[in-house]
Each structure stands twice: as C-alpha cells, then as structure tokens.
Structure 1
Amino acid sequence: MCYECGSATRRSFARFLAAGAGLTVLAACTPAAPPAAPASSAAPSAAPPSPAATTTPDVATVGQSPEAQSPTPSPSTTLARQFSLDDPASQWVIVNKHRPLAPADYAPADLVRPAVAISASGEAALLNSTTAAAAEAMFAAAARDGVAMVLASGYRSYSTQVTTYNGYVAARGQADADTASARPGHSEHQTGWAFDIGDGGGACSFEPCFADQPAATWAKANAYRYGFVVRYPWMLHPITGYYYEPWHLRFVGVEAATDMAKRGIGTLEEYFGLEAAPAYP
C-alpha cells in the first residue's frame, strides 16, 4: 500500500518533488509564513475514556483501503455516531477545505499546556484538555520505547492563521497559498484537537524526510492506541486536500482511531462517509 510505503517509496516521492511536480508538502501545518517501527506492545496508560453514545446510531457498511482515491468516498464507519462532525468542541469534528469551523473564530475553552517535551512557545504550546491528556500518555509510551517525541506546534488561533495565510498569499499568490496553508477558519490546529510532532533530535522538522525519523515511525505504528490518527496520509491528498504530513496528528478517540487502523481506512473523510475536499469550493 502507498500509505504503508517504505523508505524507497518516500525516496521516489522526494525525487518527484525535486523534479518540479509542484507538490507542496508543508500543507496545513507550517506554523509561520515563509520569508520573501514495529508496533509497541505497551498499552495506553492514561488514554481518555470515550463518552457513551448520545445520538441514534449511524452505522455504515462500506470500507475503503488507504489506496482509494475516489473523490466521493462511501460511508465506512461501523461505530455508532457518538459525536458531532460539525461542532468544533467535538472530538470527531471534521475540518477541511469544504468544512470550515463554525464559528470561524472558534477558540477552545479548555486550552492547557501538556506535560510533554515542547519546542513550541506561546499559544502553539497549548492543546485542549482531552488532547493534552492523550498526548501525555502517548509521549510517555514512546519514551518507554526509547523514542524521543516533541510537541512542535499545537493550537493556532484564528488571528494567527490570518497572519500565516496572508503571508503565503503575499509571497506566492492565493492559488499557491491554498496548497500550502489552510485558510483562516479551516485549520484543525484551531480546534485544539490536532498538533504537530517533532523528533527529539530536531531532525527533518516539517520536511518529507521526517517520515523516516523514529518519532514519525513510532507514531505511525502506535498513535491509534492513544486515540490519534495521522491526519494527512501518504498519497491521499485527493481526499484530504493536503500532501503527506507524517508530523500532523489528530485526536479522534481510541475507539475510532483503533477501528480505522484495524480496517485500513486512511482518512477521516472516508471513515465518516464525507465528500473529498481536494480544493476550496
């Protein structure tokens, strides 16, 4: 599978980029405007509990593999609909180029600084409280396996995203900016449910080669145990709208993340039966 491709495939991807194919890799996660492993056997020790279902079940029957490139994925979740896909305070909220936050300037009410290694500062060192607790459990498990993981970029406010996005527009024009930075109100970072990781040694930060670093390979194999998914997987940009970001993790809860991992479903759009969002409408 492309999603599980090894270093040889990633080298091919690097050559593809070098050949001038125009793929922008630092898609939704670049925190500032530009200048002009085998799975661990450790079980989660502090993964947050999943609340009981609050709405009627919404069970679907069709699954898709990570290779699927359909612009209109079929419903594939087998879990009862437990959380809203629209409420930004919900751990299942889906934010992409077709689904802006409502309100656009949403800010989490429970931002905290997790007790993990952090290379970010200010608001970027914060996560919502549920994500922070899960991150603490995950980082601790990685450390037990000898892997140093760092929180490189967490929460990003609407005003910060305005500055970031406008910087890209000024430097590259809007069309190119839309391939490199989420428009304000369209960034997962604004929800507090997502963050970027770095390697303890600082190697390959926000670069394609990060996929081969210990923190990335460990997270790819184990993050689901703590409720996280790699939000923008390899070669699924026709669905997510962003190129591969092995550093960008999104909390959806242990139950959903585990179900996705076991069934080989690569994107939240596919999992929840939503349309692909390769570009802004």
Structure 2
Amino acid sequence: MCHDGSGEHPEAPEPANPTASRRAFSRLLLAGTGLAALSACAPEAARPTPSAAAAASAAATSAPVTATPSATATTTAPPAASVPASPAATAPETAPPARSTVKPRHSLTDPASPWVVVNKHRPLTPAAYVPAALVQPRVRLATSGEAALLNSTTAAAAEKMFAAAAGAGVTMTLASGYRSFATQTSTYNGYVNSRGQAAADTASARPGHSEHQTGWSFDIGDGGGACSFQPCFADQPAAAWAKANGHRFGFVVRYPWMLHDITGYYYEPWHLRYVGVEAAGEMKARGITTLEQYFGLEAAPAYR
C-alpha cells in the first residue's frame, strides 16, 4: 500500500519489475514461516543464510498465494537473498496486545476522517474518493507528481516531523504519498497481468482499498537512499527515528512487524499513517500497534 506499495507503497515501483515489489518480500516470508520466525527471534549467528533464504524464495514461487489486506501496496522488491537483520528482528511484535476500549470520536468509514480504517475488509466509500485539499508538503522529496502530495492535515504534520528529524541529524524523504484510484487501478492490473490475481493481492492493494488514496498515508525514505522499500530499511536512521518518534506528530507505522495476520500486510517500516497526536500517543503508551486492534475491529488478512 505504500506505492502502494509505492505504492502502497512504493511507492512508486513498477508492477512489472519483480525486484521492485516489497510484496515479493512478503511472499518470501509467507513461504518460509519458519525462516521468518527464525530471523525475528534468533540471535545474529543463528539467522538464516543467503542459501536458506534462496530456498524459501524458491518455495514461494511454486506455492499458491492467498490474498492479503488493503492499505497501500506497491513497493520495490528486495533482492531474493537472506532476510537482513533489523530493529524489528531483535524485538519482534509477535504477541498482539489486548484490544483498546477506545470510543472513536471520528468516523472509521469516512475517508476524510483521520481515523478511517482502510483494509481488505474495509474498502473506501466512494471507491474513487479524492481528498478535498491535496498539497505538496515542504519536505525533501524523492518522488514527483501526485505521489508528492498529501492532504493538508497530513502535510502540515509531516513538515513538523521531518524538521524535528533533521534537528536530530536524521534526513527523511517523502518517497510516495497520494495515489489516485486510477493510478492504483493501473498499478494493481500490472501485477495481475504479470503474476496473476492471487500473487497480485500479496503485492498491491486492489483499487479502492489503498490508504494512499486517502492522503493520510505516505512512505518515507532515508536521506542516504539506502534500502528503499526493502526489509533492510528498518535499519536506516529515518526508519528507526520515525518508529520511535512519529507518535509525537500523530503518525504510526501502519504495518508493524509480524502482525500481517491482522493488517494483511507484512512489515513496512517505511509506511506511515497519520491518526493524530492523541491516538498515536495512546497507541504508543499502551503498546497497541495496529489500527484494527486500537479500534476493536476484526483482523483483515485477506479479501473476502
């Protein structure tokens, strides 16, 4: 969901380019559940080797793929090598916290609401929704065109967050922002044509199911440009800083580590979602890392 990937992230990745889909990494983890668990929980010396990861990748290619949730979906795919160590790997969020009893003060269905929840069970209404006020934030850009836009509220918060990060010596870039229904349709169809629908659903959000379309989400990059839309991005300064401090500006990492059975997407340390300082702060304080759990909604691992 990041371009949606990049789409949804990438955010700005090309569906026809397998090495550009962060969903390719999702398929690697899906095929090698044991490998993912080992990478997340084992000490450095015990983590899988490139050859082991390659074997898991081969298994993923031959095994059927099930559909997964909505959010944002297209990203550049990591090379089929071993899963890199990351901050998440040393401290995985494997045990989902108890659900919140929060009573929503904003709509969870209106796409103009900062608390709207978009996933594989909860499409946007209307499907072709367009934010009323899209602006280009005054931040460092690693993209252009519509992907450089956010809704005005998210843009203002992003400017404050990027400035604070810069003050701490961390350079962030806006790698992928708004994605229209038409752009998401083109991105998703590209995946379907090249890989089939089952595989496409693991790499890109279906049109009308992407957070990027709301203007409340965007993908970040690191100033050094390393590991964009790849698992190793979790180790980059921008990702680490955003995860630790994003809540102060109203942002959460929408697809946290090892909670894909709830969100429908594997870990995307680059995909941030604006929910407001109050909600983001409470989620941080209570250890609740998904919007589904925070608002007491059902998990959405796949399309119905």
Residue 241 of structure 2: aligned partner: 218
Of the three residues 100, 113, 116, the one matched with 1:76 is 100
Distance 1:13 1:139 in 2: 35
How far residue 8 of structure 1 moved from its aligned partner, in angstroms, is 5.5
Residue 123 of structure 2: aligned partner: 100
Of the three residues 243, 267, 280, the one matched with 2:290 is 267
Residue 253 of structure 2: aligned partner: 230
Residue 249 of structure 1: aligned partner: 272
Of the three residues 183, 193, 210, the one matched with 2:216 is 193
Distance 1:272 1:83 in 2: 11
**Does the CA contact (< 8 Å) of 1:119 and 1:151 recur in 2?**
yes
Matched residue type, 1:148: T
How far residue 81 of structure 1 moved from its aligned partner, in angstroms, is 1.9
Residue 194 of structure 2: aligned partner: 171
How far residue 66 of structure 1 moved from its aligned partner, in angstroms, is 4.4
Residue 67 of structure 1: aligned partner: 94
Distance 1:13 1:117, change over 3 A: farther
Alignment pair present for 1:22 and 2:60:
yes
Distance 1:156 1:12, change over 3 A: farther
**Does the CA contact (< 8 Å) of 1:123 and 1:154 recur in 2?**
yes
Alignment pair present for 1:143 and 2:166:
yes
Matched residue type, 2:212: H
Distance 1:216 1:6, change over 3 A: farther
Residue 68 of structure 2: aligned partner: none
Distance 1:30 1:218 in 2: 23
Matched residue type, 1:76: S
Distance 1:105 1:258, change over 3 A: same
How far residue 201 of structure 1 moved from its aligned partner, in angstroms, is 1.0
Residue 60 of structure 1: aligned partner: none
Indicate the structure with greater helix content: 2
**SS at structure 1 position matched to 2:190:** helix
Distance 1:222 1:142 in 2: 9
How far residue 68 of structure 1 moved from its aligned partner, in angstroms, is 3.6
**SS at structure 2 position matched to 1:221:** helix
Distance 1:183 1:247, change over 3 A: same
Distance 2:48 2:113 in 1: 34
Distance 2:223 2:217 in 1: 19
Distance 2:72 2:283 in 1: 22
Distance 1:208 1:151, change over 3 A: same
Instruction: Summarize deviations over 1:194-221 as a string: whole Å, max 9, x none.
Output: 0000000110000000000000000010
Distance 1:165 1:236 in 2: 23
Residue 143 of structure 2: aligned partner: 120
Q: Which ranges in structure 2 are unaligned for 5 or more consecutive residues?
A: 1-36, 66-70, 78-86
With normalisation by structure 1, the TM-score equals 0.79
Instruction: Summarize deviations over 1:183-239 as a string: whole Å, max 9, x none.
Output: 000000000000000000110000000000000000010001000000000000000
Backbone CA RMSD of aligned residues: 2.9
Distance 1:77 1:143, change over 3 A: farther
4+ aligned runs moved over 4 Å, structure 1: 5-9, 11-17
How far residue 31 of structure 1 moved from its aligned partner, in angstroms, is 5.5
How far residue 67 of structure 1 moved from its aligned partner, in angstroms, is 3.0
Distance 1:89 1:178, change over 3 A: same
Residue 175 of structure 2: aligned partner: 152
Instruction: Summarize deviations over 1:20-49 as a string: whole Å, max 9, x none.
Output: 26399xx9342689xxxx9xxxxxxxxxxx
**Does the CA contact (< 8 Å) of 1:31 and 1:153 recur in 2?**
no
Distance 2:113 2:73 in 1: 21
Instruction: Summarize deviations over 1:103-159 as a string: whole Å, max 9, x none.
Output: 000000100000000111100000000000000000000000000000000000000
**Does the CA contact (< 8 Å) of 1:28 and 1:182 recur in 2?**
yes
Matched residue type, 1:22: A
With normalisation by structure 2, the TM-score equals 0.73
Residue 18 of structure 2: aligned partner: none
Q: How many residues matched?
A: 243
**SS at structure 1 position matched to 2:254:** strand
Distance 1:214 1:190 in 2: 27
Instruction: Summarize deviations over 1:54-108 as a string: whole Å, max 9, x none.
Output: xxxxxxxxxxx94345xxx964143x42100000000000000000000000000
